[in-house]
Amino acid sequence: MFSRLARFFYRTAAWRLALQTTLVFAAASASVFLAMYFIVARTVRERSDSWLTGESETLRQVALSTPRDALYSRIVEEVAELATQEFSWDGGTANTGGNTVFFAQIGNTSEPPLWVGPQNSGAFLGLLRTLNIPQHQAVSLRVAGFAEPFRVVAVDVAPGAGHIYLGLLDRGAEHLLRQLLVRFFLGWLFMVAFGFLLTLFGLRRLLNRVDDITGAAASIRTDDLGTRVPIGTQHDEIARLARTFNSMLDRISASVNQLRTLTDSVAHDLKSPITSVRGSLEIALSLEDREQSQDLIASAIENLDRLSEVVTTSLDLAEADGGALRLRRESLDLSDLVHRVAELYAPAIADAQQHLTVSAPEPVPIVADLSLCTRLLSNLMENELRYAGPGAHISVVVTSRASTGSVAVEDDGPGFPMDLLPRVLQRFVKGSNSQGHGLGLAFVSAVAHAHAGVATASNRATGGARILVEFPLSDSPRVTGDDGLADNLLTSS
Amino acid sequence: MRLLVVEDDNTIRDFLTRALAESGFGVDACAQGCEAERLALEGVHDALVVDLNLPDGDGLDLIQRLRSQGVSSPVLILSARRSVDERVLGLERGGDDYMTKPFAVAELQARLRSLLRRSTPGQSETTRLRVADLEIDLIRREARRAGIELQLTQQEFALLEYLCRNAGRVVTRAMVLDHVWKMRIDTSTNIVDVHIHRLRNKVDRESQRPLIRTIRGVGYLLRE
């Protein structure tokens, strides 16, 4: 039992948090209670003190005007009697025998002091004589034989005519205050204990939900990413944690699936050319005819080049997906770049009986990675070359609007197959008659994203494919950005 | 010309040694950075080919050590790392050129020749190129075949000039794209072939002796 409890305390942060909270609460509530207690105590004391002061003043007047005779003694006794009744706080238990008030008049002459009060007057008178009690100020006086102290007020009858002492045994007030203290303490103890248990329980319930998330996380394996954390109906931090955790699992699961697709596709895309390269080279080895064997070797090299292209682009895409594609940004003119790439492709496009028109009349300044943007545009052109079909009209339009510079490449060819259209910019998505690897447009999209731009693919209403790539415009004017390639050919005088 | 090849992969080291020896270089080869350092400090090599991934440390560190010890021969870096940052870092740390694997042997040879040319100063810049009966005037930007002026576009002229400068040597498609169009792109389409085809139509059509040849699987060759 004890060890179970110890383990519970060891394994949860709830009790520690509850303890901390409770300690703070206990300290705060104790100080509030104590403050209240002292305010009440002062009020009670002030009330009896002001009575004492008032009565002692009255008695002084009486003492001044009345000779010390029997009448005077009666008046004093009356006062004591009244006080005893007035200050019996709880209906008589404190009022034991009317001995709660004393009166003493001590003169400077040799006449005996006047005493009204408890029997053992000697002890009182001795004390009063030795203590120099200041006028009109209540002080506490402890007398042997009484559990509680007396409140005593002293008055001079007249200068040099002795002192009057009026004392009140504060039994009622003391009792009241003691009871108040006990009740306050019990109430405080209960509140603290209740608060501690409530906090412990609440925190434990809250932390149990964290335990659920821990359990779910522990049960996740790479081959089974199906587990999800229960979210519940709340909208608090832990519900948010659970939701975030679940969406993280969704993303991990998506990337694992993507990785699987990628592995499958790479396996397929790499294995076929490797097989054909191997085959070509084997045959070339066994052939006597030099021309034929060279032909085979050449085709093997071409296949290897294609393989190398797939590997390079796959790695670039993987880097882009991982956010690790490092850009060397420089200022460049999108229009100029489009013209240059179009010039490179124009003869090949013409040979394929396609018609290319480029409209890029204005400089469109962007800050981008020249090498990646060149490859992006070349991918777009190759896409047209491969899939727009003979006779297609290809138009490349560069525009800038507000803060966006865009390249739109359109054709009037067959367009994207409808079932592929939503996924055509994803990796390894390709048409059934495509000889590519489904990487070109994925690369376009990845490069656009890396530049905080976007690529969209659509089919035109009039037929044909349209790819729009948008880049954020740079604010700065164009800076010529040759990337420092060895250039010893185009230098003219 | 004597070269030092530092490459830890046996297959690649052997084929590099063979290919470079066949193109007329004297080749020393080693697999370790420390051995490379010892050999390079002999000071007999005209150029170094250094792989970045060495068993006993980074090739970049090796290059930096050699440079600090006064080895001034040009260094061609070989690497499987493709990023532009790596390329720039390699050049900053003392490399003179940077090639990523896989590469064509023709391109490696061309780059080495270019490095060696750069390191032997004093060659005057030519203003005319001549191969057989093909003449190129680099200043007037005119080309003649058998005395007849060829009507070339700017691009065609640049392409022909590049081929002539490398006359007798194979240039790959990637080299053509890089040097003539200033673009580093991989392409499996025939864009460069189409340009070459058009150029060949203008240069070789009237002649009995074609100069521009296609070496299948590798690239192009302009030769008598």
- Higher pLDDT: A485 or A299? It is A299
User: At A364, is the pLDDT very low, low, confident or very high (cuts 50, 70, 90)?
Assistant: very high
- Mean pLDDT, rounded, of chain B: 88
* For residue A478, pLDDT beyond 80: no
Q: Which residue has the higher pLDDT, A377 or A227?
A: A377
Cβ within 8 Å, pair A343-B139: no
What pLDDT, in 10s, does the model give residues A118-165? 777 777 888 887 777 788 788 888 887 777 788 888 888 777 777 888
How many H-runs (helices) and E-runs (strands) does chain B carry?
A: 8, 14
**Higher per-residue pLDDT: A21 or A487:** A21
Strand-pair category, B219-222 with B212-215: antiparallel
Q: Is B194 helix (H, G, I), strand (E, B) or coil?
A: helix
Q: Is B218 in contact with A298 (Cβ distance < 8 A)?
A: yes
Q: Which of B80, B83, B84 is nearest to B59 (CA)?
A: B80
How many CB contacts within 8 angstroms connect chain A with chain B? 94
Chain A residues with CB-CB distance to B178 below 8 A = 485
Least confident of A62-66, B144-148, B151-155: A62-66
Q: How confident is the model at residue A492 (pLDDT cuts 50, 70, 90)?
A: very low
Burial class of residue B193 (count of CB atoms within 10 Å of its CB; 0-12, 13-18, 19+)? middle
For residue B162, pLDDT over 90 is answered with yes
The C-alpha of A21 sits at a distance from chain B's nearest C-alpha, in angstroms, of: 55
Burial of B141 (0-12, 13-18, 19+ CB in 10 A): middle
pLDDT at B121: 63
Contacts of B83 in chain A (CB under 8 A): 319, 326
Between CA A479 and CA A117 the distance in angstroms is: 111
Mean local confidence (pLDDT), A298-326? 82
Q: 237-296 in A: which are within 8 Å (CB) of B?
A: 294-295
Structure tokens at B140: 């007037």
The question of ipTM being above 0.85 is answered as: no
pLDDT at A97: 45
Chain A, 379-398: which have a CB under 8 Å from a chain B CB?
382, 385-386
CB A405 within 8 A of CB A473: yes
Does residue A252 register a pLDDT over 70? yes
Peptide bond into A363 cis (omega under 30): no
What is the per-residue pLDDT for A347?
92
Q: Is the pLDDT of residue B159 over 90?
A: yes
The pLDDT score that the predictor gives to residue A454 is 93
Measured between alpha carbons, how far is B140 from B159 in angstroms, rounded to an integer? 16
**pLDDT the model gives residue A129:** 78
pLDDT of A99: 53
Q: Do B188 and A493 touch (CB under 8 A)?
A: no
Residue A373: its chain B contacts at CB < 8 A?
none
What is the token pair recorded at B74? Answer: 């040009």
Q: Is the pLDDT of residue B193 over 70?
A: yes
- Radius of gyration, alpha carbons of chain B: 19
Higher pLDDT, A101 or A294: A294
Between B19 and A69, where is the model more confident? Answer: B19
Q: Is A348 on the interface with B (CB under 8 A)?
A: yes
> Is it the case that residue B13 has pLDDT exceeding 60?
yes
Say if residue A184's pLDDT is above 90. no
- How far apart, in whole angstroms, are the C-alpha atoms of residue A452 and residue B124? 48
Whether residue A195 contacts residue A25, with contact meaning beta carbons closer than 8 Å, is answered with: yes
Q: What's the pLDDT at A83? A: 67
Beta strands A163-169 and B97-100, pairing class? unpaired
Q: Please check the confidence at residue A481 and state whether its pLDDT lies above 60.
A: no
Burial pattern B195-217, b for ≥16 Cβ within 10 A else e, equals bbebbbebbbeeeeeebbeeeeb
Higher model confidence: residue A467 or residue B90? A467
Please give the pLDDT value at position A458: 93
Taking CA atoms, what residue in A is nearest to B154? Answer: A490
Helices (H), chain B: 10-22, 33-40, 59-68, 84-92, 105-119, 154-165, 173-180, 191-204
pLDDT above 90 as % of chain B: 38
Nearest to A485 among B102, B178, B188 (CB): B178
Kindly list the residues from chain A whose CB atom is less than 8 angstroms away from the CB atom of residue B218: 298, 301
What pLDDT band is residue B88 in, cutting at 50, 70 and 90?
confident
Average per-residue pLDDT in chain A?
82
Question: How far apart are the C-alpha atoms of B186 and A205, rounded to whole Å?
Answer: 60
CA distance B200 to chain A (A): 13
List, in sequence order, every residue forming a beta bridge with A398; answer none if it has no partner: A407
Nearest Cα to Cα of residue B219 among B65, B105, B54, B99: B105
- Give the mutation candidate from B129, B185, B197, B220 for the A interface (greatest A CB count, under 10 A): B185
Three-state DSSP state, B160: helix
Q: How does residue B123 score in pLDDT terms, banded at 50, 70 and 90?
A: low
Which amino acid is located at B20 in the chain?
A: L
